[in-house]
Copies of this chain bind each other. A is one copy, B any other.
């Protein structure tokens, strides 16, 4: 971190309204952390105890079923905080979620006691943390809506578009895509082959090229990627 140690706070607009003394606590007691891609930030039964502000990169939060299949719950990017690390201190045994860095990630870690100190003294900081809780609850509700009510095809089309973004090509296995949308690999492969027959995508080993984004958007409908 820079000498003053608070430039990272610009990524978290709600922190701008904190009184100077509280910004000072954050600046002096938080520590920068760099995590290589593939680092487990959180897993069941293991609480980390520090409160993480993500400043660069992406953390994937997902669940596993008994067969080891993944379903992605949400992603944390710059400007996000990881509420599971602190909640796990209270209810670690109740979670089935994992959080793993999917790129190199830079974060700022606030020790548990400082987090609790700020929660006690700062209504603004509390508001900030509660808003993050509310957003993650909303994320989980969205996942439920997706997996329950929307067809595999619309979810798959929406997710392909979101993952391909502007590049048009994505490097991903059918197994990984199945994890993204909460389905099985076989089901995803079958739908991808149907998409290919219609000229919407081209399939190669671990690679999917989007050839007709407009048709995929049509199929995606209201599905939330």
Min distance, Cβ A99 to any Cβ of chain B, angstroms: 13
A10 within 8 A of B: no
A133 within 8 A of B: yes
Q: Which residues of B sit under 8 angstroms from A138, Cβ to Cβ?
A: 91, 94-96
A45 within 8 A of B: no
Min distance, Cβ A224 to any Cβ of chain B, angstroms: 10
A119 within 8 A of B: yes
A63-B131 contact given A120-B126, A137-B87, A138-B94, CB 8 Å threshold: no
User: How far, in angstroms, from A87 to B128 measured CA to CA in the complex?
Assistant: 11
A135 x B222 contact (CB < 8 A): no
Min distance, Cβ A132 to any Cβ of chain B, angstroms: 9
Segment at the interface with B among A23-31, A35-43, A145-153, A193-201: A145-153
